[in-house]
């Protein structure tokens, strides 16, 4: 994990201080600044580690050990225009680095294959206009992501409308990602004179598209002073190369091929979220989602989190998530596929399984700031452990620093 040095933190604190409000004798209640102000800066650093024995690269058997270090920083800037509409600019930059034991088996003849480790860079920018008088918010977002064998460009729009009493809110989002894969095969399944995918290999490599389109519709309602509910509908459609060609599949006749899946997929998730306030110190957050797609997967998710205020400035949030799905129509374990099948995978993400994810977070937000630094608004540490019924285990640790 990349560490945030004290010098770097000090630099951003000084930036925040430069943008902080100063004392004025004017009546600020009637004034909205038309200068671009830095509202918020967020640093997030995360570490993820997993282990298992169902690597899809080697046909559903083998080491799934993987580690990932991720760091992101996002800035939110705002100003008001002459019509007192709030304009919000968001900029986020993320970098993560992973190492994967299973990816190293794409070509086990090498000491270390080209995709054993990789670094991903993913910037994004958003622009929103909030109209407090009309209770609307309209925004756009653009993003990109680049790693060794994958390039992605995304764009989206969003719209939110609140009721006069602010008890109801409707949100609609549309998003598109236009991606390009570098098609890498296991070494023994490559066509003649086909590149290994390494930057040092001058031979030809195919590039294939994968496009994803999604919508998100949500409606929230404050039922009473203790209960709030939200209903969600998040359909998505993908087309292009949806199979991962360096993942092997073994058949009952002893042969093997590269994974092959349909070139389109429709996903239909429906969800409901409910938050209940048990008083000033406890909030219960719950979520249920039903999912199905045209590959035959059906799944259920139940998520429960409790935010407990231990003191006015310290909160503790234990959480638990249960997930269950049946297998996709195209999944079979190692050596179980029939050679006559048109589509086939041994990726255990598409198998039948149940999983649990549990952990807790702790957040500190003192009124005078962390370590007495006024602009250092809060610090949160969160840990989670994931366990899947087929043996996959993982741990995630996240640190979040917020400056306002």
Per-chain mean pLDDT for the chain: 89
Q: What's the residue count for the chain?
A: 404
Q: Helix, strand, coil: what percent of the chain each, to 5?
A: 5, 55, 35
How much is the pLDDT for 246? 92
Say yes or no to pLDDT of 18 above 50.
no
Average pLDDT over residues 49-59: 94
- pLDDT tier, 32 (very low <50, low <70, confident <90, very high otherwise): low
What digits encode the pLDDT tens for the residues 190-204? 998 898 877 778 888
Triad 256, 118, 48: Cα angle to 5°? 95
Q: Percentage of residues in the chain with pLDDT exceeding 70?
A: 89
In a domain, 75, yes or no: no
- pLDDT tier, 110 (very low <50, low <70, confident <90, very high otherwise): low
In a domain, 81, yes or no: no
What digits encode the pLDDT tens for the residues 242-269? 999 999 999 999 999 999 999 999 999 9
How much is the pLDDT for 105? 79
Say yes or no to pLDDT of 20 above 50.
no
CATH number of domain containing 284: 2.40.160
In a domain, 133, yes or no: yes
What digits encode the pLDDT tens for the residues 302-333? 999 999 999 999 999 999 999 999 999 999 99
In a domain, 23, yes or no: no
Nearest partner of 121 among 87, 150, 82, judged by Cα: 150
CA distance to 87, 94, 173, 182, per residue, from 123 (Å): 20, 6, 20, 21
Q: Contact 236/267 with Cβ under 8 angstroms?
A: yes
Say yes or no to pLDDT of 1 above 60.
no
In a domain, 12, yes or no: no
Q: Which two tokens stand for residue 148?
A: 């060794």
Distance between CA atoms of residues 160 and 135, nearest Å: 8
DSSP helix/strand/coil, 171: strand
How many structural domains does the chain have?
1
What digits encode the pLDDT tens for the residues 231-245? 999 999 999 999 999
Q: Which two tokens stand for residue 30?
A: 């009637």
Per-residue b or e along 79-116, where b marks 16 or more CB atoms closer than 10 Å to that residue's CB: bbeeeebbebbbebebebbbebbbbbbbbeeeeebbbb
Domain extent, residue 373, equals 120-394
In a domain, 147, yes or no: yes
In a domain, 270, yes or no: yes
Q: Contact 309/317 with Cβ under 8 angstroms?
A: no
What digits encode the pLDDT tens for the residues 127-151? 999 999 999 999 999 999 998 888 9
Nearest partner of 261 among 179, 350, 182, 191, judged by Cα: 350
In a domain, 357, yes or no: yes
The conformation of residue 345, written as its DSSP 8-state character, comes to: B
What digits encode the pLDDT tens for the residues 364-403? 999 999 998 989 999 999 999 999 999 999 999 999 999 9
Burial class, 279, CB count within 10 angstroms (exposed 0-12 / middle 13-18 / buried 19+): exposed
């Amino acid at each position: 994990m990349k560490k945030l040095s004290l010098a770097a933190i000090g630099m951003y604190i000084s930036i925040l201080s430069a943008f902080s409000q100063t004392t004025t004798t004017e009546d600020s209640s009637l004034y909205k600044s038309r200068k671009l102000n830095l509202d918020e800066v967020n640093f997030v650093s995360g570490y993820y580690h997993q282990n298992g024995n169902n690597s899809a690269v080697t046909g559903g058997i083998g080491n799934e050990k993987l580690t990932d270090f991720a760091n992101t920083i996002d800035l939110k800037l705002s100003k008001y225009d002459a019509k007192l509409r709030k304009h919000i600019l968001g900029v986020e930059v993320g970098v993560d680095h992973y190492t994967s034991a299973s990816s190293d088996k794409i070509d086990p003849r090498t000491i270390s294959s080209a995709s054993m480790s990789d670094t991903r860079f993913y910037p994004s920018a958003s622009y929103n206009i909030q109209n407090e008088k009309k209770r609307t918010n309209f925004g756009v977002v653009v993003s990109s992501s680049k790693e060794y064998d994958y390039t992605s460009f995304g764009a989206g729009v969003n719209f939110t409308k609140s009721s006069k009493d602010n008890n109801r809110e409707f949100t609609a989002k549309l998003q598109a990602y236009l991606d390009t894969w570098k098609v890498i095969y296991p070494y023994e399944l490559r066509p003649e004179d086909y590149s290994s995918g390494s930057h040092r290999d001058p031979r030809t490599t195919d590039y294939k598209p994968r496009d994803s389109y999604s919508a998100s519709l949500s409606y929230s309602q404050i039922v009473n002073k203790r209960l709030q509910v939200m209903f969600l509908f998040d359909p998505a459609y993908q087309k292009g190369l949806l199979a991962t060609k360096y993942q092997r599949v073994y058949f009952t006749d002893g042969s093997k091929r590269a994974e092959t899946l349909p070139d389109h997929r429709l996903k239909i998730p429906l969800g409901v979220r409910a938050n209940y306030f048990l008083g000033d110190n406890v909030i219960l957050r719950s979520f249920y989602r039903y999912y199905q797609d045209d590959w035959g997967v059906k799944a259920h998710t139940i998520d429960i989190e409790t935010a407990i205020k231990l003191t006015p400035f310290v909160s503790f949030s234990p959480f638990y998530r249960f997930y269950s799905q049946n297998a996709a129509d195209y999944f079979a374990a190692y050596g179980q596929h029939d050679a006559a099948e048109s589509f086939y995978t041994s990726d255990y993400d598409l198998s039948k399984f149940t999983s649990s994810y549990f952990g807790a977070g702790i957040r500190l937000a003192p009124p005078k700031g962390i370590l007495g630094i006024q602009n250092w608004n809060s610090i949160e540490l969160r840990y989670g452990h994931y366990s899947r019924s087929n043996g996959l285990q993982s741990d995630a640790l996240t640190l979040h620093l917020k400056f306002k």
